[in-house]
Amino acid sequence: MAVQRSDALEAYSVSLLCFEDNFLLLQRSQTKEFAPGRWTGLGGHVETDEFSNLRAAGLREIQEEAGFSPAAISDFSYRRALLVSRPFQPLRVVLYFTGALSKLETPNCPEGVLSWKLVSEFEALDIIETTRSVFECLIEDMERDPKGKELLKVGLAIFDLDGKFQQVVWG
């Protein structure tokens, strides 16, 4: 059976924000078409007019979903880009950012429910599988390079022909 491919490209941002050892995660609304009820970071579509300033796209999504202004986020860094090519879907580029907040605040979110979690709690959460593996890398990145000065890392999410996630490979 030949795998059908879409000729579309979509770009998304996902931001992992921290306060000390806590990470702000979003449990997506049950009404979402993609990954209802699953956990991720703050983010969403990158608009076509934002392709020349991806960092601004990430900050816009954080402000829309949690109300945090760019000034409230320190060390906001564009760290990783992941190409996601699921069968029968558009090619997606997911841009991963990290940042730190100065206080433990849990605002309301129109996309689902925000909650602060420790890394030790991640295993029990139904985190979107591609994002789960990237979160592990992002946390290591933040520990090793708190200011986000390292070069951007690019990866590929690999799926089988049925669309089941296999692994992420970093280049």
The tens digit of pLDDT for each residue in 16-36 reads: 999 999 999 999 999 998 899
Res 5 pLDDT > 90: no
We find that the CATH architecture of domain 9-170 is Alpha-Beta Complex (3.90)
Amino acid identity, residue 143?
A: E
Domain ranges of the chain: 9-170
Task: Enter the pTM of the model.
Answer: 0.93
pLDDT score for 161: 87
Q: Provide the token pair at 117.
A: 């979690």
Query: By the 8 A CB rule, do 90 and 79 touch?
Result: no
Tell which wins on pLDDT, 89 or 155: 155
pLDDT score for 131: 94
How many residues are listed for the chain in this entry? 171
* Residue-wise pLDDT tens digits, 56-73: 999 999 999 999 999 999
* Residue-wise pLDDT tens digits, 117-142: 999 999 999 999 999 999 999 999 99
CA distance 66 to 60: 10
Calculate the average pLDDT of the chain. Answer: 94
Element (H or E) spanning 24, and its range?
Answer: strand 22-28
Confidence of residue 101 (pLDDT cuts 50, 70, 90): very high
Cα three-residue angle 74-75-77, rounded to 5 degrees: 130
Confidence of residue 1 (pLDDT cuts 50, 70, 90): very low
